[in-house]
Structure 1
Amino acid sequence: MIRSVVFDVGETLIKDDREWRAWAEWLDVPPHTLSGLVGAVTSAGRDNAEAFQLIRPGFDLAVERQLREEAGVGERIDESDLYPDVRCALEALKAAGCWLGIAGNQTARAATLLRRLELPVDAIATSGEWDVAKPDARFFRKVVEFAPGAPDEILYVGDHRDNDVVPSRAAGLRSGLIRRGPLGYLWADDSSVRENADWVFDSLVELPDLIAS
């Protein structure tokens, strides 16, 4: 029985287009250049932040993020960034009696921006608030503390094989991969995903029926 569903953020609930485009403009490279490098390093099993180092060696993400804020081009999340299935899927899951949470690798500011959207969820947290990021096992221990139920009654949903599916299963949670965003498409048929994910699906609106079944 699934009592709680906890969602990743980027390319699960939120389209990452705006933020990657903003970083490309900040680094003065075409968006497809940065996107290509992010895909290359991630598919090689490396952290996507390494793409910044390839463009600007010595790049300090925390410093540059603060400089963007000071320049008035900092992080933004609004209704237009949500995937169109998000609100209806969350409402259906709430109606089915699930506790819902959001917990992903985002800044503390992103948590504030997400809360302003007033999504129908019970709680929101980010790695910036918890001071630990996926795929660290401590992140998923936080998820277990965060969401009601035993680990095997908590479903963690994301688009990333190495940050979402594999470590959530290792922590004893149930696991789902949504097939969207570059990584969701890349890894939907990966053997590790098939071994560790309870479900691979194309839209969040599929979740209520999958959980019920």
Structure 2
Amino acid sequence: MTTSQHCFDDTERATIYRAIALRRDMRHFTPSPPLPDDQLERLLQAAHAAPSVGLMQPWRFMRLSTPPWRERLIGIVEAERQRTADALGARGAEFLRLKVEGLRDCAELLGVVLAPDDGTVFGRLSQPREMAWCSAACAVQNLWLAARAENLGLGWVSMFDPAQLACALALPEGAEPLGLLCLGPVPRFYDQPMLEETGWRHARPLSEMLMAPPAP
């Protein structure tokens, strides 16, 4: 029998679905002081409550919000931004007009890192690295939704050379950087995902994501 603490009423359920629907990958931030310690702790606790294969909890977070860190990391991101523009060919100039990061303006800048393999076998024997990546991504999604519930924006910046960023962060052997997370107040939340608002790309409907299995 399900106890009351595990039941959601209609209002709570609607709030959860609303947070999911209104989550956005944010790039525009309102310059702000660092988040209060208790608020940042709540957000990181939400991330840490994520599911993980074999309970390996492979996520690690680094607080990189100081001006020296921001400036150092902006150079790494900008180099990858230029490389991406070159790879896009005819759309390169259009891409360069997009805002792809908020490293300077966000209240907090966090690095999310995949920890070295801890030897967990349960659930990941055939896909050891892939399951660690999936588990860490769940932690980021938890953080994203918690931030949205706190009326804060979060943007996951993935434009960087992994080896260069790992060196900059002095990561131990076997650790990998997964992203730079821009977190903080925003001037507004996008009505649609930013890439849709700018006309770069449009989301496909759920119906196109449903695959029929072959006959057994």
Q: TM-score range by the shorter chain?
A: under 0.3
* Structure with max Cα Rg: 2
TM-score, normalised via structure 2 length:
0.27
More helix by share: 1
TM-score, normalised via structure 1 length:
0.27
- Point out which structure has higher relative CO (alpha carbons under 8 A, 6+ apart): 2
